[in-house]
Structure 1
Amino acid sequence: GYAPVWSPDGAWIAFLSPTDPHDLVLHHLADGHEITLVHARTVIRTLGWRPPVRS
Protein backbone atom coordinates (compact mmCIF):
# COMPACT_ATOMS: atom_id res chain seq x y z
CA GLY A 1 0.00 0.00 0.00
CA TYR A 2 0.88 3.64 0.35
CA ALA A 3 2.34 5.04 3.54
CA PRO A 4 2.15 8.78 4.22
CA VAL A 5 5.32 10.82 4.64
CA TRP A 6 5.71 14.02 6.71
CA SER A 7 6.95 17.21 5.09
CA PRO A 8 10.26 18.50 6.47
CA ASP A 9 8.42 21.21 8.48
CA GLY A 10 5.79 18.80 9.83
CA ALA A 11 2.85 20.85 8.53
CA TRP A 12 1.90 18.55 5.65
CA ILE A 13 1.57 14.85 5.11
CA ALA A 14 2.16 13.53 1.60
CA PHE A 15 1.23 10.30 -0.10
CA LEU A 16 1.09 8.96 -3.60
CA SER A 17 -2.40 8.91 -5.03
CA PRO A 18 -3.96 5.44 -4.88
CA THR A 19 -5.54 6.07 -8.31
CA ASP A 20 -2.42 7.38 -10.07
CA PRO A 21 1.05 6.72 -8.62
CA HIS A 22 2.42 9.72 -10.58
CA ASP A 23 0.26 12.12 -8.53
CA LEU A 24 1.17 13.37 -5.08
CA VAL A 25 -1.54 14.27 -2.57
CA LEU A 26 -0.62 16.86 0.07
CA HIS A 27 -2.79 17.04 3.19
CA HIS A 28 -2.40 20.07 5.48
CA LEU A 29 -2.69 18.83 9.06
CA ALA A 30 -3.89 22.10 10.62
CA ASP A 31 -6.92 22.75 8.39
CA GLY A 32 -7.46 19.50 6.47
CA HIS A 33 -6.86 21.17 3.10
CA GLU A 34 -5.77 18.76 0.35
CA ILE A 35 -3.91 19.48 -2.86
CA THR A 36 -3.28 16.95 -5.62
CA LEU A 37 -0.18 17.61 -7.69
CA VAL A 38 -0.40 15.89 -11.06
CA HIS A 39 2.78 14.18 -12.26
CA ALA A 40 4.62 15.30 -9.13
CA ARG A 41 7.81 13.22 -9.38
CA THR A 42 9.87 16.42 -9.70
CA VAL A 43 8.25 17.82 -6.53
CA ILE A 44 9.03 14.62 -4.64
CA ARG A 45 12.69 14.80 -5.63
CA THR A 46 12.97 18.57 -4.98
CA LEU A 47 11.50 18.38 -1.48
CA GLY A 48 13.44 15.26 -0.62
CA TRP A 49 10.27 13.37 0.29
CA ARG A 50 10.24 9.66 -0.33
CA PRO A 51 6.64 8.43 -0.47
CA PRO A 52 6.91 4.69 -1.05
CA VAL A 53 5.59 3.22 -4.26
CA ARG A 54 3.35 0.19 -4.38
CA SER A 55 5.40 -2.97 -4.71
Structure 2
Amino acid sequence: MPEMPRLRSLEERHAALEARIFEEGTRPRPDSEALQRLKLEKLRLKEEMERLRLRRLN
Protein backbone atom coordinates (compact mmCIF):
# COMPACT_ATOMS: atom_id res chain seq x y z
CA MET A 1 0.00 0.00 0.00
CA PRO A 2 1.45 3.36 -0.98
CA GLU A 3 -0.12 5.05 2.06
CA MET A 4 2.06 3.15 4.55
CA PRO A 5 5.34 5.02 3.85
CA ARG A 6 3.38 8.28 3.84
CA LEU A 7 1.75 7.40 7.16
CA ARG A 8 5.11 6.53 8.72
CA SER A 9 6.57 9.80 7.48
CA LEU A 10 3.66 11.75 8.98
CA GLU A 11 4.04 9.90 12.29
CA GLU A 12 7.73 10.78 12.41
CA ARG A 13 7.02 14.43 11.66
CA HIS A 14 4.25 14.43 14.29
CA ALA A 15 6.64 13.04 16.91
CA ALA A 16 9.29 15.60 15.98
CA LEU A 17 6.76 18.41 16.36
CA GLU A 18 5.71 17.03 19.73
CA ALA A 19 9.35 17.18 20.86
CA ARG A 20 9.73 20.74 19.56
CA ILE A 21 6.53 21.79 21.34
CA PHE A 22 7.82 20.27 24.57
CA GLU A 23 11.18 22.01 24.19
CA GLU A 24 9.60 25.37 23.45
CA GLY A 25 7.14 24.98 26.31
CA THR A 26 9.87 24.28 28.84
CA ARG A 27 11.98 27.29 27.91
CA PRO A 28 12.10 30.05 30.55
CA ARG A 29 10.20 32.37 28.19
CA PRO A 30 8.33 30.27 25.61
CA ASP A 31 7.39 31.93 22.33
CA SER A 32 3.61 31.67 22.36
CA GLU A 33 3.32 32.38 18.63
CA ALA A 34 5.83 29.64 17.80
CA LEU A 35 3.97 27.24 20.09
CA GLN A 36 0.69 28.06 18.38
CA ARG A 37 2.19 27.45 14.91
CA LEU A 38 3.77 24.16 16.01
CA LYS A 39 0.55 22.94 17.59
CA LEU A 40 -1.46 23.85 14.51
CA GLU A 41 0.97 21.96 12.27
CA LYS A 42 0.83 18.98 14.64
CA LEU A 43 -2.97 19.02 14.43
CA ARG A 44 -2.87 19.14 10.62
CA LEU A 45 -0.56 16.13 10.57
CA LYS A 46 -2.83 14.25 12.97
CA GLU A 47 -5.84 14.92 10.76
CA GLU A 48 -3.98 13.74 7.67
CA MET A 49 -2.86 10.58 9.48
CA GLU A 50 -6.46 9.85 10.46
CA ARG A 51 -7.64 10.31 6.86
CA LEU A 52 -5.00 7.83 5.67
CA ARG A 53 -5.94 5.33 8.36
CA LEU A 54 -9.63 5.57 7.50
CA ARG A 55 -8.90 5.16 3.81
CA ARG A 56 -6.82 2.07 4.60
CA LEU A 57 -9.77 0.52 6.47
CA ASN A 58 -12.22 1.08 3.62
TM class by shorter chain equals under 0.3
TM-score, normalisation: structure 2: 0.24
Does 1 or 2 have the higher relative contact order (CA < 8 Å, sep 6+)? Answer: 2
Between structures 1 and 2, the one with greater strand share:
1
Between structures 1 and 2, the one with greater helix share:
2
TM-score, normalisation: structure 1: 0.24
- Who wins on radius of gyration, i.e. which is larger? 2
